[in-house]
Amino acid sequence: MSSFMSYTNFGLFSGAAYAIAASGLVLTYTTTRVFNIAHGAFGMVLSFVFWDFSVRQGLPLWLSLVLVLGVVAPLIGWFLQRFVVRGLGEGPVSVSLVVTVGLLVFCIGLATWVWPPEARSVPPFMPASGLQFGDTYITAHQIITILSSIVVAILLYLLLTRTRIGTAMRASVDNPELLKLFGGKPDQVAALSWAIGISLAALSGILLVSVVGLDYYALTLLVVNAYAAAMLGRLKSLPLTFVGAMALGLVTSYSAGYLPSDGWLNDLRNVVPPLFLFVVIIAMPQAQLRVGQVKGIVSAPLPSLGKALGWGAALLVLTALLTGNMSTANLLLVGTAATYAMVMLSLALLTGYGGHVSLAQFTFAGVGALAYAKLDEPNLYGLFVSALIAAGVGALVALPVLRLTGLYLALSTLAFAVLMDKLVFQASFAFGFNGTLQARRLSILGTSITSTGGYVLVMAVFLVLMGFFLLFIRRGVLGRVLIAMRDSPAACGTLGLDMRWFRVALFGLSAGMAGLAGGLFAGLRGTIGAADFQFFNSLPLLLLAVVFGVTSVTGATLGGIGLMLLPVLQSNYPSLAGLMLVIIGFGAVALARDPNGLANLMFKAGRFLEARFAPQLLARLPALPGRGSTLGEADVDPLDESIDHNQEVPAHVAP
């Protein structure tokens, strides 16, 4: 009985901390329609600020708490609403998800840069005080946490349902223009909700830090528990959110105490929160179509067939020249860049064209790599079967949430990635007891490719073919349907297009492309492990794809090179590792509203140079038979990348 009470006590304590974090998440979403993936990351950063004030600077504990919760956190919330997330709720869900993922990576980079890794600890509140109930001792810190969650839940409920400010908060997201007619100020109301939300994230982090410790990733990923609680409340009900958080805390505590410590049940203890999240998402009701103003995204121009063939051939020639003079270590880096570029091409299909965000793309690559190694068929048959297995897994992830929209699809991939990390990739049946698995190099038509340079060239061929496949889809009817579904799901629904199974097929095809890249990567490395496909690796992958351009093959290729260089630069300049994450996060936040990214700036620069210097160069060339001195209209390719004929024009449709 005493052990049961102890587990119940710890479950209520952890559930109370989750409830505080989930309440802030629900508040910001309810008032601004922005789901803050970085909610836990801000709690982590502000926990470090609290440690800095109370331990490093030696300020009194109560003063540090007041400064963090009453000054620093509200200022951060106000700044975010004013300059970062303002207006995101009115745009595509994919944009707001990319922005908040960028904020998450930004926070982790900032924390590692400002507070380099070292041993730190934060003592609990009133460590010498507590209450004794039979054989169970309840610390004062646990009592404070539970009471704080109750007080927060009551105050937020009263704020939203019994005050004019709460009414204005709810009205600001439903109809901000109507609120203005009644004298309301939507921007100030939204800033207040974000200030309160970030303060609640800070409070939950401070309450948990004495148990979890000052860890960059543990505190950040603990917010997955808050996601699950918030989903149970359907992102709008504070009482259901509170109940869900308490239930999750108790289930997690009881599973840790009573499930066996060996076998698959032991692994199950570590995945209760993501499993809870996945089940809650599946049970969500049918998502409603969002009607109103439709805002399209201007897509990157498509290259002509001649230009695409030319650039593809140039990439293969450049790869062949590089592979002839490189060391094995550098060849592995080039092959890794090709792998990342192929995975980013799968994101170009899913996110750039389809408007859906996946937070598990590296996990799908891991599925393909694992299948390739387990099949032990180092040929084209084994490679494509591995891609089909990854495609099937991707479709299965999207299938349970067939009725739902972008946000829930993204969160389902998040839960799936964590489940795969804990239950599959770290299990002995996957990568073995030593955590690694052997894979042989690919053979084509019976010819084994043994040299690393030759294998890298083959990977470049697959990259070029995948890029052509993506351009082929974009030019056809399927590409136009994808763009229409991305820009206006409501309009597609009113025209009778069934987006549900189309969405499942899109997820499957994207996962299959990532799985193919994973199989090639396994053959390149020869030895793969669970660490190669960790969940967190999918986040910088998504961000760099957006920074370089998630709507173009060029952006994916450049993004793959950038992601390959990231760990190299971090190892060469370890003091700047955190700063690099800060730059990536900031770049994603700045460019998320323009998913064409840096690649589109290159296209514009190329068009400018061509318009500026091409006529002069052509004029100096000797006249050829049948050619005038200037470029006539008949010589212009309607699909030329230097012309904007294929740009998507933003649609503005009245409600």
Q: What does 531-544 look like in DSSP terms, one character per residue? A: GGG-GGGHHHHHHH
Separation of alpha carbons 5 and 11, rounded Å: 10
d(CA 69, CA 74): 7
Task: Count CA within 13 A, CB hemisphere, residue 114.
Answer: 16
| Structure confidence by residue, pLDDT tens digits, 293-307 | 445 556 667 888 888
Query: Is 655 exposed, middle or buried, given 0-12, 13-18 or 19+ CB atoms closer than 10 A?
Result: exposed
In this predicted structure, what is the pLDDT of residue 532? 87
CA distances to 4, 127, 138, 139, 224 from 130, rounded to whole Å, are 19, 8, 6, 4, 29
If one compares 477 and 42, the residue with the highest pLDDT of the two is 42
Task: Evaluate the CA torsion angle 28, 29, 34, 35 in order and state its sign.
Answer: positive
Q: Name the average pLDDT for the chain.
A: 83
Q: Which of 332, 380, 379, 386 is nearest to 364 (CA)?
A: 386
Task: Assess whether pLDDT exceeds 90 at residue 644.
Answer: no
- As a whole number of angstroms, the distance between CA 489 and CA 287 comes to 12
Average pLDDT over residues 135-150: 90
Rounded Cα distance, 36 and 99, in Å: 9
End-to-end Cα distance, the chain: 60
Higher local confidence (pLDDT), 264 or 221 = 221
| Residue 475 main-chain phi, psi, to 5 deg | -75, -25
Q: Both tokens of residue 634?
A: 């008949």
Please give the pLDDT value at position 182. 62
Q: What confidence score (pLDDT) does residue 175 get?
A: 62
Tokens 């770049």 found at? 587
Among 64-68, 228-232, 267-271, name the most confident range. 64-68
The residue type at 550:
V
- pLDDT above 90: residue 403: no
Provide the angle, in degrees to the nearest 10, between the axes of the packed helices 140-162 and 164-174. 70
Do 394 and 444 form a contact (C-beta atoms < 8 A)? no
Tell me the C-alpha to C-alpha distance, in Å, between residue 414 and each of 44, 221, 504, 574.
19, 11, 16, 29
More confident residue, 179 or 599: 599
Number of H helices, E strands in the chain: 28, 6
What is the per-residue pLDDT for 508? 94
Residue 258's pLDDT is what? 80
For 396, 512, 551, 590, the CA distances from 415, given in Å and listed in that order, are: 13, 19, 26, 27
pTM: 0.86
Flag the least confident range among 40-44, 110-114, 635-639: 635-639
Which of 114-118, 380-384, 573-577 shows the lowest mean pLDDT across its residues? 573-577
- Other C-beta atoms lying within 10 Å of the C-beta of residue 615: 13
CATH classification code of 306-599: 1.10.3470
The Cα–Cα gap between 538 and 171 comes to 36
Which residue ranges make up each domain of the chain? 11-249, 306-599
Three-state DSSP at 292 gives coil
Query: For 241-254, b where at least 16 C-beta lie within 10 A, e where not — what string?
Result: bbbbbbbbbbbbbb
Q: Is the pLDDT score of 183 beyond 70?
A: no
Q: Does the structure show a pLDDT above 80 at 353? A: yes
What tens digit of pLDDT does each residue of 437-454 get?
889 998 888 888 889 999
In the DSSP assignment, the letter for residue 575 is G
Q: Provide the pLDDT for residue 265.
A: 66
pLDDT bucket at 479, cuts 50 / 70 / 90: confident
More confident: 175 or 216: 216
Residue 429 has pLDDT above 60, yes or no: yes
Question: Which pLDDT does position 486 carry in this prediction?
Answer: 77
Which pLDDT score is estimated for 69?
95
Please state the rounded mean pLDDT for residues 198-220. 89
